[in-house]
Amino acid sequence: MKVTVVGAGAVGASCAEYIAMKNFASEVVLVDIKEGFAEGKAMDLMQTASLNGFDTKITGTTGDYAKTAGSKVAVITSGIPRKPGMTREELIGINAGIVKDVTENLVKHSPDVIIIVVSNPMDTMAYLVHKTSGLPKEKIIGMGGALDSARFKYRLAEALESPISDVDGMVIAAHSDTGMLPLYSKATRNGVPVSEFLSEEQKASVIEETKVGGATLTKLLGTSAWYAPGAAVSVMVQAILCDQKKMIPCSVMLDGEYGQSDICLGVPTIIGKDGIESIVNITLTAEEQLKFAEAAKAVKEVNGDLKF
């Protein structure tokens, strides 16, 4: 099955690389606006195929969407990343126009496509795709929770001094520095609540480090991260192409779930061949419910800046 990745920059190329390395897609088409860039990235990646042992065909195009026709999944990574000191929300002015334009092109050539939105501010960009694509809500999935949960597990394992494979946990709500909600109450080490092992001070530090995970990397790198974002997207694409019915926190259009409507926000979902197969309703503590509602309020304010 064919997967399109729009934006052949840091995140787009990482997505293409992880998807190809896992060998579950027949073809990955990279699209970029910069002349020759996607073609170059595709060629470089293809020259790793015999070294890394994959058969996925990777091609590149400078804006020729006819080459994306018949894609099962399209990943939107096109747009600018933040620089140190910026918030993701500050990217809306430039990225909204890019995401809208890219969405129109994708749907024109692949009317049944499932779109994974990566460009920031992601929850708002996912909302924009809902408002402009005409696709059913099951086919628009924002990537944030998969990455934030991976960062949560990294921080938990660090505090627990345990292997990451011992740790499980999930982050929901907004993909923003303040609106992320690491579900500490549900995080476990081999099924045992992490609160059995960690102090209140460690808990506060794990939660804070998780929430500013993207900002921390942006400060270190001078631009935002790409390896873990690319890997997170590849997990979502694999769940769709292989119909895995995996539970992944994703930003999806809510229609009353978690007390919210007309907003894309991160909640646990089941991802399979049709995209979002269901939204999983889990019980939140009173404090978590409050934080979820606060995150929703902030995202709605940002959504208010969109012009359709």
Ligand X SMILES: O=C(O)C[C@H](O)C(=O)O
**Per-residue contact flags (x/-) with ligand X for residues 133 to 162, judged by CB under 6 A:** --------------x---------------
Residues forming the annotated binding site for NAD(+)? Answer: 7-12, 32, 95, 118-120
Query: From the CB of 195, what's the least distance to ligand NAD, in Å?
Result: 27
Q: Which of 41, 67, 72, 88 binds ligand X (CB under 6 A)?
A: 88
Q: Which of 2, 67, 82, 211 binds ligand X (CB under 6 A)?
A: 82
Residues in the chain: 308
Is 175 part of the annotated catalytic residue set?
A: yes
φ/ψ of 272, rounded to 5, equals -145, -160
- In terms of Cα–Cα distance, which of 23, 238, 3, 254 is closest to 115? 3
Q: Looking at beta carbons only, is 25 or 183 nearer to ligand X?
A: 183
Q: Looking at beta carbons only, is 4 or 224 nearer to ligand X?
A: 224
Query: From the CB of 144, what's the least distance to ligand X, in Å?
Result: 7
Contacts of 169 (CB under 8 A, 6+ apart): 149, 152, 153, 156, 182, 183, 184, 186, 187, 188, 194
According to the binding rule CB under 6 A, does residue 99 interact with ligand X? no
Contacts of 212 (CB under 8 A, 6+ apart): 177
Cα-based distances in Å from 193 to 118, 134, 183, 187:
31, 42, 11, 6
Q: Looking at beta carbons only, is 195 or 223 nearer to ligand NAD?
A: 223
Query: From the CB of 91, what's the least distance to ligand X, in Å?
Result: 8
Contact 99, 115 (CB under 8 A): no
Contact 107, 133 (CB under 8 A): yes
Residues forming the annotated binding site for substrate? Answer: 82, 88, 120, 151
According to the binding rule CB under 6 A, does residue 9 interact with ligand X? no
Burial of 271 (0-12, 13-18, 19+ CB in 10 A): buried
Cα-based distances in Å from 28 to 129, 158, 162, 215:
21, 35, 36, 29
According to the binding rule CB under 6 A, does residue 95 interact with ligand X? no
Q: Residue 282 and residue 289: Cα distance in Å, rounded?
A: 11
According to the binding rule CB under 6 A, does residue 218 interact with ligand X? yes
Q: Looking at beta carbons only, is 59 or 78 nearer to ligand NAD?
A: 78
CB atoms within 10 A of CB 158: 15
Residues forming the annotated binding site? Answer: 7-12, 32, 82, 88, 95, 118-120, 151
Query: From the CB of 63, what's the least distance to ligand NAD, in Å?
Result: 7
**Per-residue contact flags (x/-) with ligand X for residues 109 to 128, judged by CB under 6 A:** -----------x--------
Q: Which residues bind ligand NAD (CB under 6 A)?
A: 6-12, 31-34, 37, 77-82, 91, 95, 98, 101-102, 118-120, 122, 143-144, 147, 175, 223-226, 229
Measure CA 160 to chain center: 26
Question: What is the four-CA torsion angle of 114, 119, 120, 125, rounded to 10 degrees?
Answer: -40
Q: Which residue is nearest to ligand NAD (CB)?
A: 9
Cα-based distances in Å from 280 to 138, 187, 269:
14, 17, 5
Q: Which does 96 bind (CB under 5 to 8 A by kind): ligand NAD, ligand X, none?
A: none
Q: Residue 219 and residue 223: Cα distance in Å, rounded?
A: 7
According to the binding rule CB under 6 A, does residue 176 interact with ligand X? no
Q: Which of 72, 153, 175, 291 is catalytic?
A: 175
Q: Which residue is nearest to ligand X (CB)?
A: 214
Interacting residues with ligand X (CB under 6 A): 81-82, 88, 120, 147, 175, 214, 217-218, 224-225, 229
Active-site residue list: 175
